[in-house]
Amino acid sequence: MIYLDNAASSHPKPDAVYRASDLALRIGANPGRSGHIGALQAARIIHDAREEIAKLLNAPDSARVIFTQNATHAINLALKGFLKAGDHVVTSTMEHNSVTRPLHALSQDGVAVTAVSGGAGGVIDPQKIEDAIGPRTRLVALTHASNVTGALLDLDAVGEICGRRGVELFLDASQTAGAVPINVAASKVSMLAAPGHKGLLGPQGTGFLYVAPGISLTPLMEGGTGFLSESREMPEELPERLEAGTMNTPGIAGLLAGVEHILTRTVENIREHELAITRHILENYRKVDGLLEYGPADPEKRVAVFSFNLGERDGAHVGYVLDEIYKIAVRVGLHCAPDAHKTLGTFPRGSVRASFGPFSTIDDAKTLLAAFGEIAKIK
C-alpha cells in the first residue's frame, strides 16, 4: 500500500512512537495526580512533550502548550475561549470545518464573522485580511496551509498586519506543524492549534493549543487538575487552567517521540524532502491527459497536499480504483472544507486528494501519476 493520506493522519510513524506509547501504557499511572514513582514518570513524559513542542515552535514558555484530543479540540478552545459577543473575527473561505463550524456557532451568539475569499490556488491575500479588519476586530483566524490545495499563508505578512492593527492572530497549523518551520514568537502568533497525529507523527487522540503570553482564555471544560483541589474555580495557572481531567499519557508519550524524531531530522530537512516531491508532481502532472490540479504553481508557496480531478470522472470512482487496483490510499470528497471547494469551483464535486509525508518518496509520486495516466486511458 502506498499511503498518500498524510493530511488526514500521518502513516507510518517512526518506530520510537509505537514503543513510547506502549511503554507509557505499561507505566499506567496518572500524571500529576499522585507522588508515587509511576505518577512521576508519567508527569515527566507530559512535561518533556510540552518542552519539545515549545522548542519546535520557538515558544517562550512550555507551560503555555495545552494538550488536547486533536486540532479541532484546540481550535474550539481557542475560538470559544477568546471571542465574546460583540467581537469581530476575520477568517477565510479556505478554512476547515473545525474553524468554520465553531465560528458559525459563535456567530449565533453575537460574534461577527467576516470570511475573506481565497484567491487562485486557495491563496489568501494578506491585504484583503487587513482590509477586513475593523474597530471591533479582536482576532484573525486563519489556516497556515489549506488542507485542500496546500496553499501556504504568508504568515509573516499577516503577523505584521495583526501586530500593527492591534489584533490577535490565531493560526490553524494542522497541515504545517512538523512540515514547515514555524517560529511563533517571530511571526507574532497569539494562538496556534495543531494535531499531534499528522505532521508531528504522534498517535491519534493527540493535539495541542499554544497560547502566547498575555492571552487569557475561558476554559472549555472544568474539572480535576490535581492541585488547588479545595477551590470550586479552575486554577489561574497554565496549563492546568485549560486541561481538566486525566491526560492521554500514552498518546502524548508517542507524540513526544514523534516530535523528537522531527527535531533530530529537522523540520528544514522534512520541508526540503516534501518540496522535492511537490516539484516532481508540479512538473509532471500535466503529462496525464485531463488531470487537473488546483493548488499554487510555485512549490515554495504550498505544502505537499494536492487536489486532483481527472476530467469529468467521478472522484469517488477514481479513489476506489486507486485503492483497489493500484493500492494507493488517497482521500476523495470535500475534505471537511466545503467553502474551500466553493472558492475553487469544485463544489459539490470535491477532488481526489493525495497528501505526502516525511516517509513518502518521489517514487510514490511517480506511481500515483502513472496510475492516473492509466485510469485516464480507460474508456
Ligand X SMILES: Cc1ncc(COP(=O)(O)O)c(C=O)c1O
Contacts with ligand X by CB under 6 A lie at 7-8, 70-72, 96, 98, 143, 147, 172, 174-175, 195, 207
Beta-strand runs (E) in the chain: 2-3, 65-68, 88-92, 112-116, 137-143, 168-172, 191-195, 207-211, 291-293, 305-310, 328-329, 331-333, 351-355
Q: At what angle do helices 249-265 and 37-57 cross, to 10 degrees?
A: 40
Q: Which is nearer to ligand X, 141 or 291 (CB)?
A: 141
Q: Which is nearer to ligand X, 208 or 326 (CB)?
A: 208
Cβ–Cβ under 8 Å, residues 243 and 74: no
φ and ψ at residue 292, rounded to 5 degrees? -105, 145
φ and ψ at residue 251, rounded to 5 degrees? -65, -45
User: Closest distance between ligand X and the C-beta of residue 7, in Å?
Assistant: 6
User: Closest distance between ligand X and the C-beta of residue 27, in Å?
Assistant: 25
User: Closest distance between ligand X and the C-beta of residue 131, in Å?
Assistant: 24
Cβ–Cβ under 8 Å, residues 252 and 23: no
Closest of 96, 171, 107 to residue 139, by C-alpha:
171
Which sign does the torsion angle of CA 271, 272, 273, 276 carry? positive
Q: Which is nearer to ligand X, 195 or 203 (CB)?
A: 195
Q: Which is nearer to ligand X, 98 or 351 (CB)?
A: 98
User: Closest distance between ligand X and the C-beta of residue 264, in Å?
Assistant: 24
CB-facing half-sphere around the CA of 351: CA atoms within 13 A: 26
Q: Which is nearer to ligand X, 10 or 175 (CB)?
A: 175
Per-residue DSSP letter, 210: E
User: Closest distance between ligand X and the C-beta of residue 206, in Å?
Assistant: 8
Q: Which is nearer to ligand X, 149 or 278 (CB)?
A: 149
User: Closest distance between ligand X and the C-beta of residue 246, in Å?
Assistant: 20
Q: Which is nearer to ligand X, 21 or 174 (CB)?
A: 174
User: Closest distance between ligand X and the C-beta of residue 8, in Å?
Assistant: 6
Q: Using DSSP, state whether 211 is helix, strand or coil.
A: strand
φ and ψ at residue 42, rounded to 5 degrees? -65, -40
User: Closest distance between ligand X and the C-beta of residue 94, in Å?
Assistant: 9
Alpha-carbon distances of 304 from 1, 264, 375, rounded to whole Å:
19, 21, 22
What are 146's three cell numbers?
489549506
User: Closest distance between ligand X and the C-beta of residue 9, in Å?
Assistant: 8
Which sign does the torsion angle of CA 42, 44, 45, 51 carry? positive
User: Closest distance between ligand X and the C-beta of residue 207, in Å?
Assistant: 5
Q: Which is nearer to ligand X, 79 or 184 (CB)?
A: 79
The rounded Cα 148 to chain-centroid distance in angstroms is: 12
CA dist., res. 186 & res. 171, Å (int): 14
CA dist., res. 222 & res. 236, Å (int): 12
Q: Which is nearer to ligand X, 111 or 148 (CB)?
A: 148
Q: Which is nearer to ligand X, 8 or 162 (CB)?
A: 8
Name residue 19's amino acid. R
